[in-house]
Structures are given as structure tokens and as C-alpha cells.
């Protein structure tokens, strides 16, 4: 019998990058309208001020603030109305003493004015403006560069583009972004028992699950080039993996990673051009029989066939690797709660325990979900997981725990 020599989970990323340093992200330019969810590979700096001119934040009149001192309902301040500023136009007007100019919200403040009086506090008598309230310097005005100053870093390398980010970038006239090129993935499900959606179900067969769950999980981080089902035949798997390494950056092989007689992944990787297996087992539960290897500069994962184990390994190894390469680790994607039951773990192996949460008396209660790794309903029953380090034997009921979202 072949026993797996496991690698500590904390060593995986460093080992992968040592073996395949070229994995570190490559740059490409992306149009702003296509940038949602993409990850910046460079800092974005403003090359202009926002706003680019002193701008009114109200509908009203531009005046010199000192000339409104003492104005009240009974004793208004008087100004001569000298026209208006049109929206979207450069104001050539220069405000002189005792003058007022109408300015709508968002329009440019004329030179010489330092405040805006809201129209609600004004009264008009022919060409004379009566102001019934004093205003202070720069009241109701957004000054040039108040929002963004030229040279400011707007978004940092590793930022994930959101709709809000897109709005800011559009305001700066930035319509192309330097982003990390998305990784290309291939997913291969192996097993004589696995059938696809076009195959007729027979007793003893298992419908393919992993290619669907993995391909959807990948969408955030890369492009799924293909997903295929391959029967347990060494030459067939070898040929399919060889093709996939030509088309993809990362190949995920679901099933075929343990030490059984029909688990071909390790042998397949070794037969590839520049093939090397450098991890054959990880010190985690579930997911121990995970293989990691390469074909030259292409990364290959042999994931467990059980759906829960496969997704756990994807989340804690593949996903975290890509987040690290993209500088976008979601470090705040967790919350705390109180454990509802005593929880056992396996010393020497980092345990990832599926949970769901309930709320009782305004407190988050964390309920461990127990079941065999082949039970597909564990995925729908759970909404996160907790991590028990390899150096502890378990946690007691009532312990405060950190819960990671999927």
C-alpha cells in the first residue's frame, strides 16, 4: 500500500511559486465597461482635479460672503443681479462688489465669488436680489480638487473593480485599466462512474457535480476554458491533461488523487513534458489526498472526488493562491460566533469544519454540520466553515470562533 507523505497547508503557496514563478500575474489592458470584478495590477493616479473648477452644490446666487453679513428676514442684503452661469459652460463672468450671479447646481462659480446663497433665502425685485440670510466663505461650494487632487492614488494595485470604482474612474476620464490577465482553467472529472448531463443514468453511476461547482467558483478568478469527463483510463486521462496544459494555465483534475490502484493523476503528471508532482497529500481534513504538480509552467491540481473535499481544497488552496497573486485577499470575509457543541479535530491535520449559523438572543450561534465527505447535501446545509489548527484536539461548546464564508 502507498502512504501519502503530506505537506503542511502553510507551505503550499510558497512551494507552488518556487516551482512555477511565472504564475505571478501578467498585465493586460481592459476597457472600463468590461472591468467589473477585474483586479488592478498597477496603482491608478488622478491626472486632474475633481472637480476641475469651483462648483455650486445648490441652485442659487454666487456672491461675496462678507457682503451678506447681518442679513436677515427683516433687513436683507441687496445685490445687483448680473446674469447667470449656464450648465456645462466655462464662466467668463467676474463678480464685482455688490453683484450676484445665478448659478445652478453643478455649474461653475464665477471669479470673485466665494459663496452660494440658496434660492430659498432670496427674493427678486426686477434686477435686484434681496438676501435674507448670511453665508460663510465657501458655503455651498465644492472647491477645485476637494474630491480628488491631481496626483492622488485613487485605486491601489490589487483593488477589485466595483460599480462605484467605475464611476470614479469615469469622472477622471480613465477608460482603460491595467488589470491582471485572468487565469485560464480546465476542469477534468475522472471516473468510470461519472456521467454528464447527456448520458443516461444507470444504477451505480454518479452524476457529475464537481465540474459545475468548480467552474462557477472559478468565474470570479479566471476563465473556464473547458470542462470534461474522462473515464478511468491512463492513456485517455494523459491525453486529455496534455491537451489542457496547452490551452490553460491551471488544470483541475477532480478524482484520481488518492493512493488507490485506479488513481492515475500522479502518474499522468509525471508523464507530461516537464512533469513533476511536488505535493502528494496535504495535512488537512477534508482534502488530505490532494496532488499538486506541474507541466513546465502549467499548474495542475489533483482534487479529491468528493464534492465537499473538492470545494474545501479549492477554497483554501486554489482560491487563496489566486487572491495572493492578485493582491486581493478578502481578509475581512469572516465573522465571529459562539460554538453550539463540543467539536473534535484530528491532531496533526488542520481541520475545516462545515457550519451553519443561527441567531439567538442577538448572538450568532455556530452549529457544526457533521456528515461524510461524500454527502452532497453538506454543501447546501452549510454557509461557511471554521478552521481548527493542527495543534489542537478540539473546541468546547461556548467557544468564540471565527467563521469564514465560502
Name 45's bridge partners.
Answer: 153
- In this prediction, residues 128-132 reach a mean pLDDT of 97
Q: Which of residues 220 and 207 earns the better pLDDT score?
A: 207
**What confidence score (pLDDT) does residue 135 get?**
97
Residue 18 has pLDDT above 90, yes or no: yes
Closest to 117 in 3D by CA, of 52, 156, 60, 175: 60
Q: Are strands 77-84 and 60-63 parallel, antiparallel or unpaired?
A: unpaired
Amino acid 306: pLDDT? 87
Nearest CA-CA partner of 180 in 373, 372, 35, 379: 35
Taking a C-beta distance cutoff of 8 angstroms, is the pair 182, 222 a contact?
yes
Express as a percent the part of the chain with pLDDT over 70: 94
Q: Work out the burial of residue 398: count CB atoms within 10 Å of its CB; fewer than 13 is exposed, 13-18 middle, 19 or more buried.
A: exposed
pLDDT at 180: 93
End-to-end CA distance of the chain: 35
Q: What mean pLDDT, rounded, does the chain reach? A: 90
CA distance 328 to 335: 18
Q: Which residue has the higher pLDDT, 3 or 58?
A: 58
As a whole-number percent, the residues of the chain with pLDDT over 90 amount to: 68
Is 379 a residue whose pLDDT tops 90?
no
> Hey, what long-range contacts does 106-110 have (CB within 8 A, 24 or more apart)?
106/55, 106/56, 106/57, 107/55, 107/56, 108/53, 108/54, 108/55, 108/56, 109/53, 109/54, 109/55, 109/56, 109/62, 109/85, 109/141, 110/62, 110/85
Q: What's the rounded mean pLDDT across residues 268-297?
A: 94
Cell of 184: 485560464
Q: Is the pLDDT of residue 373 over 60?
A: no
- Report the distance separating Cα 77 and Cα 75, nearest Å: 7
Q: What is the pLDDT of residues 54-96, one digit of tens each?
A: 999 999 999 999 999 999 999 999 999 999 999 988 888 899 9
Predicted local confidence at residue 25, as pLDDT: 80
pLDDT value at 294 more than 50: yes
352-369 pLDDT, tens per residue? 998 999 999 999 999 998
What is the model's pLDDT at position 332? 57
- Which domains are present in the chain? 9-26+183-325 (3.40.980.10), 37-49+152-180 (3.90.105.10), 55-142 (2.170.190.11), 334-404 (2.40.340.10)
Amino acid at each position: 500500500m502507498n502512504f501519502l507523505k503530506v505537506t503542511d497547508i502553510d507551505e503550499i503557496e510558497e512551494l507552488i511559486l518556487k516551482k512555477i514563478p511565472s504564475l505571478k500575474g501578467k498585465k493586460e489592458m481592459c476597457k472600463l465597461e468590461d472591468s467589473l470584478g477585474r483586479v488592478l495590477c498597477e496603482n491608478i493616479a488622478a491626472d486632474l482635479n475633481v472637480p476641475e473648477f469651483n462648483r455650486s452644490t445648490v441652485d442659487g446666487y454666487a456672491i461675496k460672503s462678507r457682503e451678506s453679513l447681518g442679513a436677515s428676514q427683516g433687513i436683507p442684503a441687496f445685490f445687483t443681479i448680473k446674469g447667470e452661469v449656464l450648465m456645462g459652460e466655462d464662466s467668463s463672468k467676474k463678480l464685482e462688489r455688490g453683484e450676484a450671479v445665478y448659478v445652478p447646481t453643478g455649474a461653475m462659480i464665477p471669479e470673485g465669488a466665494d459663496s452660494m446663497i440658496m434660492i430659498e433665502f432670496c427674493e427678486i425685485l426686477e434686477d435686484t436680489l434681496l438676501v435674507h440670510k448670511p453665508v460663510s466663505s465657501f458655503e455651498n461650494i465644492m472647491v477645485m480638487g476637494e474630491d480628488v487632487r491631481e496626483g492622488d492614488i485613487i485605486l491601489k494595485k490589487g483593488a477589485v473593480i466595483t460599480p462605484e470604482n467605475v464611476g470614479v474612474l469615469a469622472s477622471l476620464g480613465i477608460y482603460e485599466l491595467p488589470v491582471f490577465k485572468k487565469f485560464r482553467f480546465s476542469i477534468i472529472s475522472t471516473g468510470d462512474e461519472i456521467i454528464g448531463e447527456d448520458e443516461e443514468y444507470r444504477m451505480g453511476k454518479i452524476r457529475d457535480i464537481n465540474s459545475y461547482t468548480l467552474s462557477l467558483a472559478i468565474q470570479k478568478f479566471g476563465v473556464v476554458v473547458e470542462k470534461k469527463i474522462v473515464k478511468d483510463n491512463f492513456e485517455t486521462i494523459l491525453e486529455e491533461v496534455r491537451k489542457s496544459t496547452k490551452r490553460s494555465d491551471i488544470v483541475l483534475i477532480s478524482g484520481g488523487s488518492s493512493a488507490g490502484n485506479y488513481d492515475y493523476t500522479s502518474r499522468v503528471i509525471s508523464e507530461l513534458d516537464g512533469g513533476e508532482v511536488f505535493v502528494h497529500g496535504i495535512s488537512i481534513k477534508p482534502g488530505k489526498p490532494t496532488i499538486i504538480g506541474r507541466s513546465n509552467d502549467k499548474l495542475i491540481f489533483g482534487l479529491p472526488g468528493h464534492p465537499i473535499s473538492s470545494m474545501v481544497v479549492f477554497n483554501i488552496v486554489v482560491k487563496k493562491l489566486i487572491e495572493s497573486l492578485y493582491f486581493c485577499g478578502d481578509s475581512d470575509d469572516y465573522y465571529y460566533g459562539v460554538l453550539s457543541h463540543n467539536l473534535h479535530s484530528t491532531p496533526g491535520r488542520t481541520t475545516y469544519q462545515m457550519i451553519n449559523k443561527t441567531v439567538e438572543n442577538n448572538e450568532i450561534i455556530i452549529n457544526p454540520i457533521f456528515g461524510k465527505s461524500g454527502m452532497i447535501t453538506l454543501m447546501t446545509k452549510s454557509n461557511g466553515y471554521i478552521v481548527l489548527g493542527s495543534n489542537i484536539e478540539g473546541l468546547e461548546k461556548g467557544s468564540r470562533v471565527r467563521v469564514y464564508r465560502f
